[in-house]
Amino acid sequence: MTDTAPLAAAPRQRSLVVKATSGLDRPEAANQAFTVAAAAVAAGVEVSVWLTGEAAWFGLPGRAAELELEHAAPLPDLLEAVLAAGTLTVCTQCAARRGITADDVLPGVRIAGAAVFVEEALRDGAQALVY
């Protein structure tokens, strides 16, 4: 006799897309976006962080170190965790408005536009958060 029970479907991979809209102007929101993203990376979740508005500056070398927030993990450590296992993207329009080019950003950081963000955010199994 053979077992004809259907095979269980593989669990779908969840992903997290975090849109960070705040920089030094709103340090708690900026840090929280990276805290959540780094926690998700540590949990094995596929993570993509989008840097928009004033957060776009964090895609440049040394800029994350400018954010200091009491009782919070240092932003450079969180950014490094995301870059090690996730994707970090600076918004195309936000970069252009600030004069940021692909030559300016940290290694591993890309510049991409809204169509790519929408594709990631609407992917099956994706959860998008905005900070």
Measured from the Cβ of residue 79, the count of other Cβ atoms closer than 10 Å reads 24
pLDDT tens for each residue of 62-91: 999 999 999 999 999 999 999 999 999 999
Per-domain residue ranges of the chain: 15-130
Measured from the Cβ of residue 119, the count of other Cβ atoms closer than 10 Å reads 12
Q: What is the pTM of this model?
A: 0.89
Report the Cα 50 to chain-centroid distance in Å: 5
Over 80: is that where the pLDDT of 115 sits? yes
Q: If we measure between CA atoms, which residue out of 33, 50, 47 comes closest to residue 89? A: 50
Q: How confident is the model at residue 8 (pLDDT cuts 50, 70, 90)?
A: low
CATH homologous superfamily of domain 15-130? DsrEFH-like (3.40.1260.10)
Mean pLDDT rounded to a whole number for the chain: 94
